[in-house]
Amino acid sequence: MNTFKIGENTFELAESIIKDLKASDNLGILKCIQCGMCTSTCPAARHTDYDPREIIKRVLDKDETLIKDDIIWNCFYCYTCHSICPVNNSACEVNQVLRQKTIDNGKGKSKIAPFSEYADSYLESGLGTIPSDFFSDLIKDYGNEWIELKANLEEIRKELSLGPMLLPKKDIEDINEILEKTGFTKRLERVRRCKDEKDTR
């Protein structure tokens, strides 16, 4: 239970989320009446301790331990809560902002590091791809035909009369320049470093 000082802005965390670029216009966190529609329809709540109503309550209580709480990583980003909320709140978007705060604070980088190859591929070709680190697990579940598909992809795409997947060189260079200037490339380097540290540990 948090205790607040008189005059302290207890909605600081909620307000910082509302102001985030990821938050939809008029995100209704402050209007939440804890009705629980979100939790009643949430797939993660059905199978884990994750509870979107509780997440919102903690945000409204300015509970900053939430940022370091692993529970926020259980959300599916399915937007079911977002689509049914009577006051235009979205636990889904709140989670997205909370995870970004965790990433900015350091701890969250190891959570997203396994996906860094997606961005490597984006910078190389303008297209994202499922990171190859996951392949051995996927082949186990999908079967060997899946890896054969990867090997025969070019041929299959030709048979289907599809155009090229990869972007022209000039466009890939433009994309790299954009991502350099948005700060993404630097962000990716920090995430990658986190992955390398983990791999050598």
Partner 1 sequence: MKKIPDKEILLFKSCLVNVEYPGVESSTKFVFDKLGIEYTISERQSCCTGLGHYADLFDQFSTTALAARNFGIAREEDHRNIATLCATCYAILKKSANILNTKDNVRRQVNKIFDGSGISDLKYKVEDIDSRDNIFHTTEIIYNKADKIPDLVEVDLSGFKVAAHHACHYCKVHHQDTIGNPRDPMVIETIAKACGVETVDWYDRKTNTCGNGFRQRYMNKDLSFSVTAEKLLSLKENEVDILLHMCPNCQIQFDRNQKVIGESLNTEFNIICLNISQFVALAFGADPYKVVGIQTHTVPVEPVVDKIKLINPVNEV
Q: Could you say which residues in the range 83-142 bind partner 1, by CB under 8 A? A: 83-84, 96, 99-100, 103, 108, 111-112, 114-116, 118-119, 122, 126-130, 134, 137-138, 140-142
Residues 3-22 that bind partner 1 (CB under 8 A): 20-22
Query: At which residue do the structure tokens 């979107």 appear?
Result: 52
CA neighbor of 79 nearest in space, from 95, 90, 94 = 90
Q: Which lies closer to partner 1 via its Cβ, residue 60 or residue 123?
A: 123
- Would you say 15 or 88 has its CB closer to partner 1? 88
Q: Which is nearer to partner 1, 10 or 129 (CB)?
A: 129
Q: Return the residue matching tokens 């884990």.
A: 48
* From 6, 159, 169, 199, residue interacting with partner 1 (rule: CB under 8 A): 159
Q: Which residues in the 64-83 window bind partner 1 by CB under 8 A? A: 73-80, 82-83
CB closer to partner 1 out of 61 and 88: 88
Q: Are 119 and 182 in contact (CB under 8 A)?
A: no
Among 57, 68, 107, 187, binds partner 1 (CB under 8 A): 187
Distance CA 85, CA 95 (A): 15
C-alpha 195/C-alpha 192 separation (Å) is 5
- The most distant pair of C-alpha atoms in the chain lies apart, rounded to whole Å, by 71
Check binding of 177 to partner 1 (CB under 8 A).
yes
Q: Which of residues 40-69 bind partner 1 (CB under 8 A)?
A: 43-44, 46-48
35 scored as a contact of partner 1 (CB under 8 A): no
From residue 106, alpha-carbon distances to 58, 99, 102, 137 in Å are 21, 11, 6, 28
List CB contacts of 151: < 8 A, sequence separation 6 or more.
none
30 or 165: whose CB is closer to partner 1?
165
